[in-house]
Structure 1
Amino acid sequence: MTSNSAVPYALARLRLGGAVHVGLVVDERIRPLDSVELGANDLNAFLANPDWDRLGALAVTESDEWMALKDVTLTAPVEPRQVLQAGANYREHVIELVAAGLTQNSDRTPEEAREFAARMMDDRAANGEPYFFIGLPACVVGDDVPLVLPAYSEVHDWELELAVVIGREAFHVSREDAIGHVAGYTMVNDITTRDLVFRKDMKEIGTDWYRAKNAPGFLPTGPLLVPAEFVDADNLGVRLELNGQTMQNGSTSDLLFDVAALISSASKTMPLLPGDLILTGSPPGNGQHWKRFLRAGDVMTSSIDGLGTQVVRCVAPGGER
């Protein structure tokens, strides 16, 4: 199932006649929207000043244009100009990582290491700032595009994340005002090539997010853009299955910095534009944890409460399974 019947309606983008159109999704049906019905010339223009009431009225209107979702091809539901990614933002996940490192590299017992890591995270949440890096918008694709696993590595990893879709431009906004700049939410699987994260030729440089996270198709997105009023971003289940086996099963209630904090912090540096994405971080259970990375033929089935289901198929270069 691609849609979610608990959500009255959502937006998507579908392929029709060689072009991509904005579509309105209700249950298991979709209808393309022209600029008059959308009330804007394109999706980002709509998100800058959205008229959700117009779409709500269309959602209950009968029309010959309604089609079954199973009969159409959806692609990424957004066209961001900027993609910001929050790192180390799930409390339990980071505690596990820090505690594991302390246990291996100090005299602390596992219990002492975990308590120390928990205090660190609580202090960071109270007094720290979110950590961001930048993704390339060109990497944003729908799950209609197979994930080609680059041949230069065998340690490509998954990281399912809730993604914020910006509505009104946000620049120097406070935490109190930040949510007013959210148009909606979608999901993104932030693919990472683990052995490229840290530079080996000059360790002083540190992380290399460009090479590790920005190969073609490394940001499978969607399938739905769900209006913010239908989403409780503070309490969403985040689940990823690999070939039917549950690998990630977390909740956004574990975020160190919530959506408002992320938007406020990110907007201090650069204006966030309509349609831009802010990825909120990934819960525990990625391939690095399981010591199992992506292979040709793998199928990732991802879901976040209310945001539908994403199915990504992995292929080798050239399309071989």
Structure 2
Amino acid sequence: MKKFALGTFSTRNADAEKFAGLVVDRKVAPISRLAEEYGLPQLGGKSVLALLESWSNSFQALKALVERVDTSEWCDESHLKFHPAVDLPRQVFCTGANYRKHVIDMTVDANVGPEGLSKEELKKWAEEMMDNRVANGEPYVFTKPVSAISGPYDDLILPPTTEKPDWELELAVVIGKQGYNISEADAMDYVAGYTIVNDISARDLIPRTDYKMLGTDWFRSKGQPGFLPLGPYVVPKCFIDNPYHLLMKLTVSGATMQDETTADMLFNIEKQIAYISKYARLLPGDIICTGSPAGNGTHYNRYLTDGDVMWGEISGLGYQRQKCVVEAN
């Protein structure tokens, strides 16, 4: 089967309309145009979200289409503007503290644990805690507003509300059909594909200090505009052989910060889908951010500043690039 992906694009004209694009070997054609040329009305005039709403039919039509098309006249993707690959989903779910080394590092860095432990003892305590959590616990999930979503190459505007903006490169699951109370055994049937997200976080806004019993405040710390670059593509799941064996790498201004694989995930995708759908109805096009590996700014005591350039990539899914710009007064 010839590989393909989906994305949302426009020409670089200021008033250009967005379109759902079929991507083959980094060349792009509007799906609505292809639908007309090849007599596929079920694909015509649809956004990526609309294609996902009838994903089973859409995928079969796209799979047959890519075997017929001649891409020589298609537009090179470098000539187009990328928008969020799903523009826009209705719901975004984030699974926090879901990479083993990441959580252990955070525990040691913050010196959170029983009093009187040495650094090595604290690390061992955290490791045992993670093993127990996987054996007996559940995923930790919160939602993120869709207004936080931006394109994969858009500038990240650093707001004046935070002094500690941080990065979290993540594999994102794209849902392909509606489901509620889904079993782990059936969970992957609901996955249309994968994409990349960066769960930007204002570290200094996570704890509530006015009333500490409230705990964490994910709304203000993770929900600000631009705090979820999404894309560049939706890659159908059949083209990712093993979602638990993907390389994840993020650099900030040339320095490698995150360099891990998805193998370090604590709760797998099946468990996340089962857990989320136990309490919320999943809809086509929904995004599940599956957690971030070790190496965020908190670990290095280094946060994003004006002029920084982030480069994040996951094998098989492409890359993201954001330049950080301080918000103008």
> TM-score w.r.t. structure 1 length?
0.92
Q: SS where residue 207 of structure 1 aligns?
A: coil
Residues in 1 aligned to 2:320 and 2:153: alpha-carbon distance in whole angstroms: 9
Gaps of 5+ in 2: none
Structure 1 stretch displaced more, 20-29 or 34-43:
34-43
**Which residue pairs with 2:326 in the alignment?**
316
Q: CA deviation at 1:9?
A: 1.0
Structure 1 stretch displaced more, 39-48 or 22-31:
39-48
**Displaced runs of 4 or more, over 6 A:** none
Mapped pair 1:74 → 2:82: yes
Closer/same/farther in 2, CA of residues 119 and 93 from structure 1, 3 Å limit: same
Matches within 5 A, 1:211-290: 211-231=220-240, 232-290=242-300
Q: SS where residue 225 of structure 2 aligns?
A: coil
Matches within 5 A, 1:1-321: 8-16=3-11, 18-34=16-32, 36=35, 37=40, 39-40=42-43, 41-50=46-55, 51-60=58-67, 61-62=69-70, 66-78=74-86, 79-101=88-110, 106-231=115-240, 232-318=242-328
Residues in 2 aligned to 1:261 and 1:121: alpha-carbon distance in whole angstroms: 16
Structure 1 stretch displaced more, 104-113 or 87-96:
104-113
Query: Is the Cα contact below 8 Å between 1:103 and 1:110 reproduced in 2?
Result: no
Per-residue CA shift, 1:22-77, capped at 9, x if unaligned?
10111121111118458344322321332323223333411575100111111110
Q: CA deviation at 1:143?
A: 2.6
Query: Is the Cα contact below 8 Å between 1:86 and 1:132 reproduced in 2?
Result: yes
Residues in 2 aligned to 1:221 and 1:63: alpha-carbon distance in whole angstroms: 25
Size of the alignment, in residue pairs? 314
- The letter for the 2-side match of 1:284 is A
- The letter for the 1-side match of 2:186 is D
Closer/same/farther in 2, CA of residues 186 and 243 from structure 1, 3 Å limit: same
Gaps of 5+ in 1: 1-5
- The letter for the 2-side match of 1:266 is I
Query: Is the Cα contact below 8 Å between 2:250 and 2:259 reproduced in 1?
Result: yes
Residues in 2 aligned to 1:314 and 1:94: alpha-carbon distance in whole angstroms: 26
Q: SS where residue 117 of structure 1 aligns?
A: helix
Query: Is the Cα contact below 8 Å between 2:100 and 2:264 reproduced in 1?
Result: yes
What's the C-alpha RMSD, in Å, of the aligned pairs?
2.0
Per-residue CA shift, 1:137-188, capped at 9, x if unaligned?
1111103431110012221111111111001112100000000000000011
Query: Is the Cα contact below 8 Å between 1:89 and 1:257 reproduced in 2?
Result: yes
Query: Is the Cα contact below 8 Å between 2:5 and 2:235 reproduced in 1?
Result: yes
Residues in 1 aligned to 2:2 and 2:297: alpha-carbon distance in whole angstroms: 31
Query: Is the Cα contact below 8 Å between 2:109 and 2:299 reproduced in 1?
Result: no
Query: Is the Cα contact below 8 Å between 1:146 and 1:312 reproduced in 2?
Result: yes
Query: Is the Cα contact below 8 Å between 1:238 and 1:250 reproduced in 2?
Result: yes
Residues in 2 aligned to 1:38 and 1:185: alpha-carbon distance in whole angstroms: 26
Sequence identity percentage: 42
Q: CA deviation at 1:109?
A: 3.1
Query: Is the Cα contact below 8 Å between 1:99 and 1:113 reproduced in 2?
Result: yes
Q: SS where residue 318 of structure 1 aligns?
A: coil
Q: SS where residue 34 of structure 1 aligns?
A: helix
Structure 1 stretch displaced more, 294-303 or 104-113:
104-113
Residues in 2 aligned to 1:160 and 1:7: alpha-carbon distance in whole angstroms: 28
**Which residue pairs with 1:3 in the alignment?**
none
Per-residue CA shift, 1:198-219, capped at 9, x if unaligned?
1111111111111111111110
Query: Is the Cα contact below 8 Å between 1:7 and 1:306 reproduced in 2?
Result: no
Residues in 2 aligned to 1:94 and 1:198: alpha-carbon distance in whole angstroms: 17
Closer/same/farther in 2, CA of residues 210 and 28 from structure 1, 3 Å limit: same
